[in-house]
Chains A and B, each alone.
Chain A
């Protein structure tokens, strides 16, 4: 990879003078802390929506698809609209983690984890629709080419709906593997910090025994690169195949060759908008403003602007070619979109998707967090309507005027959609409390080149790392007296286990060398009578607890930082 050199005009990606330890602490904080009331409120709302959605799904399957607003002409509407919308949202995650990795975009490191989580969760939502929109979902396994007792009755590989099955299932599995591989070092970090045995066990299980050896890292990098190389064509092909559902047909308004790249561009567009929505909240709630900076938001806005322009260009192309083709059905399809009964949906889609991202040309606007948040929601609404317009307006009026009709959704259509939104947020909220939401290993890898602390040092012409210059001289040590009589017993207890310090024969160590012991803590320890590494290295869980009782500061800190282990090593060295 590139060296630590970075052009001075690049802005820092990690602000607030963070060092490696700060990164771990900041990222682990939401997992190690407890959920607050707001989290529970939001989680309950999402859960309620999910339960409502499950009810609507059960009602559909047990009663029949006729509970939806579909009719004989418009036989795809909210179901496939939602399907394409969720798949589209799921694309940004892979794009951020794979495509931006291939393009060596360092800023992706703070957002890729959450974007990938978003991919997984939204592809799960998308995956529901192909099943529940079936008339006989219990026969869904027939789409899989498995040998069977019907004389090996096979599937027809000519249908894009079958390609969808392969595309979505491959996409979900590859994304999941890609995401999980990236999580290994981060889970290991949580595992190593865990205080509670249960937590330690769980994170020990999910981190697959990651120890971070050089060979592991080398293979880790290679795997990431190969998976990124595979995920990029995959991400393009998945939404392409989804677009084939329409483009291979002969329906005017559907049959057009631009759909494959244009759906992909739209997917990136809507996916980035969703990432933007979620991360703007997350950086605030999880206090990650130092990692997900305004620059990240700005860059995501630029991606939204670029893909929005590509989508706009595709709209214009479609309109032009519809006119140019001289095919009256095609021409009518677009006339109907603009002036037919669903003109409002078309207008909404045009204004949300084409006009709204164009405001990002102004730096003031694209660096404003509030406006970015609003626009990101607007874009998601617009992209939902884009799919709705493409699907419904092309179906409800096509070749035969005698089959022209209208579509309006029922509460079941709407309920299922709301249910998937609830499901998505249930998963995402759980994720935000249990997973390291930022890839700490990756952020640490760019800290020296792009962290503001190191950039400042480099600008000042100072070395990024300074060897500690003086070895702490053997200090004159006065054995301090413990003042509080009620603590004397406890201290005596502790010292009896750790061994006492005799200023005449022993030499005091610089306890500050132990990570987690600052000057203040050293003073406290000295007051108790702990001066040497040897003493600290004898500490076990019981002693930690006793120490916590005496000092009353930073409970669990000593154990988490493993003072005893560190001291043992330092003791051997000195």
Chain B
């Protein structure tokens, strides 16, 4: 049995407290009037050099904000409409920071769930030793899912302007959005979200129950049932994951569309999920809780991190290159704004998500070195956070982005909950399944 170390628990609580403070600062400092927003941006520009040097970020477009805002009518500079738009962007920032972090951690848990289901459906012989770790991580689906759902409800209730299509005034002026109103309907949106979350959580709970029941059983009935549930879940997941990505991420830029988008999100989700499995496994092993896990298991996880990083890059490049190549105006604005306003994060994340893992995890000896895998994993996780950031922020805060207190606060807060919840779930049952039919294979696993 695993016991939650006090140091880790306190660390998680401290993270959450810091996060609450950071997020609070974010919400308190938003402007409430257009004039205030204009002044804030002006002041921000004056202090440009200092503030950005600290953050280590240099958004090239920050000082030339007025006319660059593609797709909007603000061509006449500092008029009232622009100021109001600016105010909305600044007001969105703390919300988006929370949303990005909430989605990022939720996505990790969901990615782990998909990986877990694949392992079960594929009858993998190497991974059963890690099932309890995966089940521990997917425990976060419940709180993470609830938080996501609450955030979506708050958006529908107009606490923020992240999803412009939820604003009936905007829709009234926009023929394109009217055309999509059949799908982008707030009520239907929430119903869909409830179905997705319900289905995922249901599978997680059922699978966990069967997995624990298998330990006590004297036949393989629960194992077979779990196999069937995994296959069924994967079908459900294939469909709902795509729709979730259209709903929760793609509709932030409601004029833009890409058929690949759902699978692109999937790849990011898988690689982050597997990375977290590897990191937590290494942590637990270093504390002596997973005696049978050997470096071959770590090697396999690192191979998956490597493979899915490349798969993610493949999808990222396919989506980017095809839109760049054809250069059709209605699609290409998506990347135009990102390259102009988010140059460093946009290309930086490709380096973090592709170049780093490619170079670090190519060597098979390195994939067996724990600290090496952890280092690569941290780069990958940071890279995928930036990936989500790049997908959400341009549609909500535009060129008024930065990575500062609200963003760090939100990440700290959700990291805190994640650690607290996941490790609490890990303390519930022994970390090694007892009677999985493949457990012997997994224990002997050597590659």
A residues with CB within 8 A of B: 1-3, 5-10, 233, 236-237, 240, 244, 247-250, 255-261, 309-310, 313-314, 316-318, 320-321, 324-327
Q: Given A257-B323, A260-B314, A261-B260, A5–B444 Cβ distance below 8 Å?
A: yes
Q: How far is the CA of A7 from the CA of B123 in the complex (A)?
A: 11
| A103 and chain B: residue at smallest CB distance | B122
In this complex, how many residues of chain B approach chain A with their Cβ under 8 Å: the count is 39
A249 pairs with B220, CB closer than 8 A = no
A3 pairs with B446, CB closer than 8 A = yes
Query: Which one, B21-29, B57-65, B191-199, B234-242, is touching chain A?
Result: B234-242
In angstroms, how far is the closest chain A Cβ from the Cβ of B309?
Answer: 12
Q: Which residues from chain A contact B438 at a C-beta distance below 8 Å?
A: 7, 9
Question: B437: which of A7, A261, A317, A326 is its contact (CB, 8 Å)?
Answer: A7
Q: Which residues from chain B contact A309 at a C-beta distance below 8 Å?
A: 235, 238
Q: How far is the CA of A316 from the CA of B238 in the complex (A)?
A: 12
Q: How far is the CA of A247 from the CA of B331 in the complex (A)?
A: 14
Question: B326: which of A3, A248, A317 is its contact (CB, 8 Å)?
Answer: A248
In angstroms, how far is the closest chain A Cβ from the Cβ of B292?
Answer: 14
Question: A324: which of B257, B314, B319, B325 is its contact (CB, 8 Å)?
Answer: B257
Asked if B147 is at the interface of the complex by the 8 Å CB criterion, the answer is: no
Known: A1-B447, A250-B326, A324-B180. 19 other contacts (CB 8 A): A2-B125, A2-B441, A2-B446, A2-B447, A3-B446, A5-B444, A6-B441, A7-B440, A7-B441, A248-B325, A248-B326, A255-B322, A261-B318, A313-B239, A313-B242, A314-B259, A318-B259, A325-B330, A327-B330
The 13 listed contacts between A and B (C-beta, < 8 Å) are A5-B441, A9-B437, A10-B123, A248-B322, A248-B326, A257-B319, A257-B323, A309-B235, A316-B239, A321-B259, A324-B246, A325-B330, A327-B330
Asked if B258 is at the interface of the complex by the 8 Å CB criterion, the answer is: yes
B263 pairs with A261, CB closer than 8 A = yes
Q: How far is the CA of A318 from the CA of B246 in the complex (A)?
A: 13
**Contact string against A for B residues 43-61, beta-carbon threshold 8 Å, 1 for contact and 0 otherwise:** 0000000000000000000
Q: How far is the CA of A9 from the CA of B128 in the complex (A)?
A: 15
Q: Which residues from chain B contact A325 at a C-beta distance below 8 Å?
A: 257, 330
Asked if B310 is at the interface of the complex by the 8 Å CB criterion, the answer is: yes
Ranked 5 nearest A-B pairs via Cβ: A258-B259, A257-B260, A260-B318, A326-B179, A248-B325
In angstroms, how far is the closest chain A Cβ from the Cβ of B223?
Answer: 9
A257 pairs with B318, CB closer than 8 A = yes
B444 pairs with A8, CB closer than 8 A = no
Query: Among residues 411 to 447 in chain B, which have CB atoms less than 8 Å away from a CB atom of chain A?
Result: 437-438, 440-441, 444-447
| A254 and chain B: residue at smallest CB distance | B326
Q: Which residues from chain A contact B179 at a C-beta distance below 8 Å?
A: 326
A250 pairs with B314, CB closer than 8 A = no
Q: Which residues from chain B contact A249 at a C-beta distance below 8 Å?
A: 326
A5 pairs with B322, CB closer than 8 A = no
Q: How far is the CA of A472 from the CA of B90 in the complex (A)?
A: 94
Q: How far is the CA of A314 from the CA of B125 in the complex (A)?
A: 30
**Contact string against A for B residues 255-288, beta-carbon threshold 8 Å, 1 for contact and 0 otherwise:** 0011111110000000000000000000000000
In angstroms, how far is the closest chain A Cβ from the Cβ of B355?
Answer: 15
In angstroms, how far is the closest chain B Cβ from the Cβ of A314?
Answer: 8
Q: Which residues from chain B contact A260 at a C-beta distance below 8 Å?
A: 260, 314-315, 318, 322
Asked if B183 is at the interface of the complex by the 8 Å CB criterion, the answer is: yes
Asked if B176 is at the interface of the complex by the 8 Å CB criterion, the answer is: yes
B326 pairs with A5, CB closer than 8 A = no
Q: Given A7-B125, A326-B176, A2–B314 Cβ distance below 8 Å?
A: no
Q: How far is the CA of A10 from the CA of B257 in the complex (A)?
A: 45
B259 pairs with A257, CB closer than 8 A = yes
Q: How far is the CA of A8 from the CA of B123 in the complex (A)?
A: 13
Asked if B328 is at the interface of the complex by the 8 Å CB criterion, the answer is: yes
Most chain A beta-carbon contacts within 10 A, residue among B260, B262, B444: B260
| B436 and chain A: residue at smallest CB distance | A7
Q: Given A240-B314, A313-B242, A321–B322 Cβ distance below 8 Å?
A: no
In angstroms, how far is the closest chain A Cβ from the Cβ of B126?
Answer: 8
| A321 and chain B: residue at smallest CB distance | B259
| A319 and chain B: residue at smallest CB distance | B259
Most chain A beta-carbon contacts within 10 A, residue among B176, B322, B328, B330: B322
Query: Among residues 220 to 260 in chain B, which have CB atoms less than 8 Å away from a CB atom of chain A?
Result: 220, 235, 238-239, 242, 246, 257-260
Question: B238: which of A8, A255, A256, A310 is its contact (CB, 8 Å)?
Answer: A310
Q: How far is the CA of A255 from the CA of B323 in the complex (A)?
A: 9
Q: How far is the CA of A50 from the CA of B236 in the complex (A)?
A: 46
Q: How far is the CA of A240 from the CA of B318 in the complex (A)?
A: 8
In angstroms, how far is the closest chain B Cβ from the Cβ of A123?
Answer: 21
Q: How far is the CA of A317 from the CA of B264 in the complex (A)?
A: 13
Q: Which residues from chain B contact A9 at a C-beta distance below 8 Å?
A: 220, 437-438
Q: Which residues from chain B contact A314 at a C-beta distance below 8 Å?
A: 259
Q: How far is the CA of A258 from the CA of B257 in the complex (A)?
A: 11
Q: Which residues from chain B contact A3 at a C-beta distance below 8 Å?
A: 444, 446
Most chain A beta-carbon contacts within 10 A, residue among B235, B310, B318, B446: B318
Q: Which residues from chain B contact A250 at a C-beta distance below 8 Å?
A: 326, 328
| A361 and chain B: residue at smallest CB distance | B231
B328 pairs with A255, CB closer than 8 A = yes
Q: How far is the CA of A9 from the CA of B438 in the complex (A)?
A: 8
| A4 and chain B: residue at smallest CB distance | B444
In angstroms, how far is the closest chain B Cβ from the Cβ of A295?
Answer: 12
Q: How far is the CA of A518 from the CA of B440 in the complex (A)?
A: 40
Q: Which residues from chain A contact B235 at a C-beta distance below 8 Å?
A: 309
Q: How far is the CA of A228 from the CA of B323 in the complex (A)?
A: 31
Q: Given A7-B125, A240-B318, A249-B326, A317–B259 Cβ distance below 8 Å?
A: yes
| A257 and chain B: residue at smallest CB distance | B260
Most chain A beta-carbon contacts within 10 A, residue among B176, B235, B310, B325: B325
Q: Which residues from chain A contact B123 at a C-beta distance below 8 Å?
A: 10
Q: Which residues from chain A contact B261 at a C-beta distance below 8 Å?
A: 257
Question: B183: which of A233, A255, A256, A324 is its contact (CB, 8 Å)?
Answer: A324
Q: How far is the CA of A3 from the CA of B446 in the complex (A)?
A: 7
Q: Which residues from chain A contact B441 at a C-beta distance below 8 Å?
A: 2, 5-7
Most chain B beta-carbon contacts within 10 A, residue among A236, A250, A257, A324: A257
B322 pairs with A244, CB closer than 8 A = yes
Q: How far is the CA of A5 from the CA of B444 in the complex (A)?
A: 8
Q: How far is the CA of A6 from the CA of B258 in the complex (A)?
A: 45
| B125 and chain A: residue at smallest CB distance | A7
Q: Which residues from chain B contact A317 at a C-beta distance below 8 Å?
A: 242, 259, 262
Q: Which residues from chain A contact B437 at a C-beta distance below 8 Å?
A: 7-9
Q: How far is the CA of A207 from the CA of B242 in the complex (A)?
A: 49
A258 pairs with B260, CB closer than 8 A = yes
Q: Which residues from chain A contact B238 at a C-beta distance below 8 Å?
A: 309-310, 313
B440 pairs with A257, CB closer than 8 A = no
Q: How far is the CA of A257 from the CA of B314 in the complex (A)?
A: 12
Q: Which residues from chain B contact A259 at a C-beta distance below 8 Å?
A: 322
Q: Which residues from chain A contact B260 at a C-beta distance below 8 Å?
A: 256-258, 260-261
B180 pairs with A326, CB closer than 8 A = yes
Q: Which residues from chain A contact B330 at a C-beta distance below 8 Å?
A: 325, 327
A258 pairs with B263, CB closer than 8 A = yes
Q: How far is the CA of A254 from the CA of B319 in the complex (A)?
A: 14
Q: How far is the CA of A256 from the CA of B257 in the complex (A)?
A: 10
In angstroms, how far is the closest chain B Cβ from the Cβ of A426?
Answer: 36
Q: Which residues from chain A contact B328 at a C-beta distance below 8 Å?
A: 250, 255
B444 pairs with A2, CB closer than 8 A = yes
B323 pairs with A2, CB closer than 8 A = no
Question: A233: which of B220, B258, B262, B310 is its contact (CB, 8 Å)?
Answer: B310
Q: Which residues from chain B contact A236 at a C-beta distance below 8 Å?
A: 314
Q: How far is the CA of A317 from the CA of B262 in the complex (A)?
A: 9
Q: How far is the CA of A259 from the CA of B447 in the complex (A)?
A: 36
| A306 and chain B: residue at smallest CB distance | B234
| B437 and chain A: residue at smallest CB distance | A9
B444 pairs with A255, CB closer than 8 A = no
A321 pairs with B257, CB closer than 8 A = yes
In angstroms, how far is the closest chain A Cβ from the Cβ of B282?
Answer: 22
Q: How far is the CA of A317 from the CA of B257 in the complex (A)?
A: 11
Q: How far is the CA of A250 from the CA of B327 in the complex (A)?
A: 9
A2 pairs with B440, CB closer than 8 A = no
Q: How far is the CA of A309 from the CA of B176 in the complex (A)?
A: 31
